[in-house]
């Protein structure tokens, strides 16, 4: 048991040093305090590294039971710190999922062993919890199978790789950036790893101006600032993620043929060349 604690301590120390190095090198990462936080934490809302609602409920009950039996102040302080850091380092949810699973299992066992005045209440409670866990798992699995990239996504980026220069910068919504870099092998202004990007707050603000401004001079000035050569958009961005109207912001400016040229338009995906 002592050896296991020593190994765990070494792992925690190495992980802590790793993230401290990130903080020193890149500073405190920028996060947007909006509904994206819930998406990152709830699998039912579309989070990839996230938790099911029933898992969270069971884990919370498990932590409460464990706390009543053994008040591990140091352990709970560490857990709180990890949860806090996970707002900045979403990859920590991988480890939290393991911890939450243990607590949820402890909770489930306690509920099964609990005495009930009526056996039917016990059975219904267990069935309800199991159905909730199964629903979370099935819905998550079905959603993951539909995650991008699909064929049209890949085709557009392969086309982009074949019709652009390796040093030309691409612009899109930041969650699309990693796939653009990996498939098209082209640099992007932003990707989903916001914590590693210098001046990320400024770049996010400038990106929003590019997306939503209808002032051509302001938009082209920012495109020139970052040497952006191509703009990649898909139907998700046009209908929900960025815009809701066909002539909103950048979509309106695309009508200026002197500054923009549509070079790709297939299956809801468009690529625009910045001519300036």
pLDDT digits (tens, 9 = 90+) for 39-48: 667 776 666 6
Domain count, the chain: 2
- Threshold 0.75, pTM exceeds: no
| DSSP element (H, E) containing 81 | helix 73-86
Same-domain pairing of 250 and 166: yes
| Domain harbouring 178, CATH code | 3.40.50.12610
180 neighbors 157 (Cβ within 8 angstroms):
yes
pLDDT digits (tens, 9 = 90+) for 137-174: 777 776 766 777 889 999 999 999 999 999 999 999 99
Q: Which of 61-65, 72-76, 265-269 has the lowest mean pLDDT?
A: 72-76
- Which residue bears the tokens 């159905």? 131
Which domain range does residue 168 map to? Answer: 151-274
Whether 213 is in a domain gets the answer yes
Question: pLDDT-based confidence at 274, cuts 50/70/90?
Answer: very high
- Give the torsion sign (CA, 191, 197, 201, 207): negative
Please state, in angstroms and rounded to a whole number, the distance separating the CA atoms of residues 56 and 100: 7
Same-domain pairing of 37 and 129: yes
pLDDT digits (tens, 9 = 90+) for 106-117: 888 888 787 777
95 neighbors 36 (Cβ within 8 angstroms):
no
Whether 234 is in a domain gets the answer yes
Tell me what pLDDT residue 4 has. 53
Please state, in angstroms and rounded to a whole number, the distance separating the CA atoms of residues 168 and 175: 19
Last residue of a domain, one of 145, 162, 186: 145
Last residue of a domain, one of 96, 112, 145: 145
Please state, in angstroms and rounded to a whole number, the distance separating the CA atoms of residues 18 and 2: 24
Whether 180 is in a domain gets the answer yes
């Amino acid at each position: 048991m002592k050896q296991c604690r020593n190994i765990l301590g070494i792992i925690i120390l190495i992980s802590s040093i790793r993230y401290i190095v990130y903080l020193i090198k890149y500073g405190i990462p920028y996060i947007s305090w909006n509904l994206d936080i819930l998406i990152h934490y709830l699998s039912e809302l579309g989070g990839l590294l996230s938790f099911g609602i029933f898992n969270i409920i069971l884990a919370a009950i498990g932590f409460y039971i464990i706390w009543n039996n053994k008040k591990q102040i140091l352990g709970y302080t560490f857990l709180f710190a990890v949860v806090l850091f996970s707002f900045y380092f979403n990859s920590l949810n991988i480890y939290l999922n393991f911890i939450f699973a243990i607590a949820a299992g402890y909770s489930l066992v306690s509920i099964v062993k609990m005495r009930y005045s009526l056996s039917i209440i016990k059975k219904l409670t267990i069935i309800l919890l199991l159905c909730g866990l199964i629903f979370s798992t099935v819905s998550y699995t079905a959603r993951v199978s539909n995650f991008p990239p699909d064929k049209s996504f890949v085709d557009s980026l392969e086309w982009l790789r074949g019709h652009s220069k390796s040093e030309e910068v691409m612009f899109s919504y930041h969650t699309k950036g990693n796939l653009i870099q990996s498939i098209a092998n082209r640099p992007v202004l932003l990707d989903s790893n916001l914590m590693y990007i210098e001046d990320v707050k400024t770049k996010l603000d400038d990106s929003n101006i590019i997306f939503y401004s209808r002032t051509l001079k302001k938009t082209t000035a920012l495109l020139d600032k970052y040497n952006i050569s191509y703009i990649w958009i898909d139907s998700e961005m046009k209908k929900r993620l960025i815009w809701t109207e066909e002539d909103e912001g950048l979509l309106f400016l695309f009508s200026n043929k002197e500054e923009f040229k549509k070079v790709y338009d297939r299956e809801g995906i468009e690529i625009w060349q910045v001519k300036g």
